Structure 1
């Protein structure tokens, strides 16, 4: 029973400086109680008078103050450092190594842990990014991705968390935002993409992006919500790129390449693009 009590007192999490002090106080209190119990046992065996009892208590209190409490602080800080290291490693495992945004694995976690109510999933994909890598190389391509992530964060960071969910695909998990407001901000973002140079003065890189927005009612599973936003993004790609489509909008009637319609609803649908090859 006493061992269980000690484990309960000492195994509580240490997650802040306040917890360190509380942990050290617990260590000191336990040591003081043990010292008092030992002194009481000695006095029962051989009572030496009240002066000896008071002297023993004073020595025990001094030892606890000078030794037990500092040791408790040291042990508490060790546990706090361990906790912070675990948090840091957990955050690193959920971060994208190139852009610093949160990664795909963290999106369903944040979605399920988010507040109840209507949310928005906004998917953005860079258009024809494969041509950038082929023309300028992957080093330039990485810089373009980093600058694109920074641009998205500047324009949409106020809506919620931003994730890199695929090679050239980014997702915003927005809360407390109306569809019309989100659409307006995404349109402003796409306009900045069209007017920005993602390269250098010597080697300018022009780029556009497409977006899909899904309004997600409460209790909607993540997979269903993401599929709806992904379908809206596919519609934006299929109808000319550099535009925004809503999941609630009708499906596009055809695929446009530049000004030319290369597929219409009267013809068999083209094969669905693989996610890794979306451009």
Structure 2
């Protein structure tokens, strides 16, 4: 009996309230329990000291009003902190996974996404803004931030639905996708690179021309993610060493021609 009662009252004593709907349900449940308990006690009292049905109905009405007036505000005071605490936890978690400058996924979120399915084959690309220090030195750090923001927005819009896109940090971005998207995504990344070099980024009254170097690699289901990351980073290094403003696929030569072959396949 005690165990059953404890189970019944657990949602009241230890509520888990995460939404407005759950808060309303909690208030209704607490109010209903309080009302049933109060009317039961009042009914027992009326059975012992019965005067008339008129008096009994008046007492029950008064009891109901008192319970509603007291219980609803009290249950709200108990439930609101639970909902706000949960929402605060969600906000902290979201902020811990979001890059503050661009609003994109941050490095942690990208790494977690890549490691959630360790047996899945994955494609990864790292995009690095060429000579970004020169941008900061020439135009100032605020202009550099605007460049990063703009490229982040462009990537998010272009690859929406195709890949997870985020900022690794500094002037580096990353894309993660299923390896079966290799042909389509390689062509899209190459198109993005070409579009960026022909589209100056306007910051105030200045038009800043930037280019990007890109490394791309894929892994088999049995390969660890660390290996994929290292191969992607190596492909990026090859792109920089070969003159920047180009896409390199790990284990292959320059991918510009490969992208055109993929698009034609």
Which residue matches 1:125?
A: 128
CA drift at 1:3: 4.9
Query: Equivalences for 1:156-167 in 2 at 5 Å?
Result: 156-167=159-170
Tell me: CA distance 1:19–1:112, structure 2 relative to 1, closer, same or farther (3 Å). farther
Cα distance in 1, alignment partners of residues 139 and 150 from structure 2: 15
1:212 correspondence with 2:253: no
Superimposed CA distance per residue, residues 26-68 of structure 1 (whole angstroms, 9 cap, x where no aligned partner): 2112212432453366467x44368366555444434344442
Equivalent pair of 2:129/2:213 in contact (CA under 8 Å): yes
Tell me: CA distance 1:35–1:200, structure 2 relative to 1, closer, same or farther (3 Å). closer
Kindly report the root-mean-square deviation, in angstroms, between the aligned alpha carbons of the 2 structures: 3.2
CA drift at 1:87: 1.7
Q: How many residues align?
A: 250
Query: Equivalences for 1:144-159 in 2 at 5 Å?
Result: 144-159=147-162
Cα distance in 2, alignment partners of residues 48 and 131 from structure 1: 92
Q: Any gaps of 5 or more consecutive residues in structure 1? A: 253-279
Which residue matches 1:48?
A: 50
1:193 correspondence with 2:196: yes
CA drift at 1:114: 6.5
Cα distance in 2, alignment partners of residues 31 and 221 from structure 1: 57
- Secondary structure of 2:213's counterpart equals strand
Query: Equivalences for 1:107-256 in 2 at 5 Å?
Result: 107-113=110-116, 117-175=120-178, 178-199=181-202, 203-218=206-221, 221-247=224-250, 249-250=251-252
Q: Find 1:68's aligned residue among 67, 71, 75.
A: 71
- Secondary structure of 1:241's counterpart equals coil
- Secondary structure of 1:7's counterpart equals helix
Could you state the TM-score of these two structures normalised by the residue count of structure 1? 0.74
Cα distance in 1, alignment partners of residues 204 and 50 from structure 2: 92
Q: Any gaps of 5 or more consecutive residues in structure 2? A: 255-265
Cα distance in 1, alignment partners of residues 146 and 37 from structure 2: 63
Which residue matches 1:267?
A: none
Cα distance in 2, alignment partners of residues 117 and 218 from structure 1: 5
Equivalent pair of 1:235/1:251 in contact (CA under 8 Å): no
Greater mean alpha carbon deviation, residues 213-222 or residues 135-144:
213-222
Query: Equivalences for 1:22-41 in 2 at 5 Å?
Result: 22-39=25-42
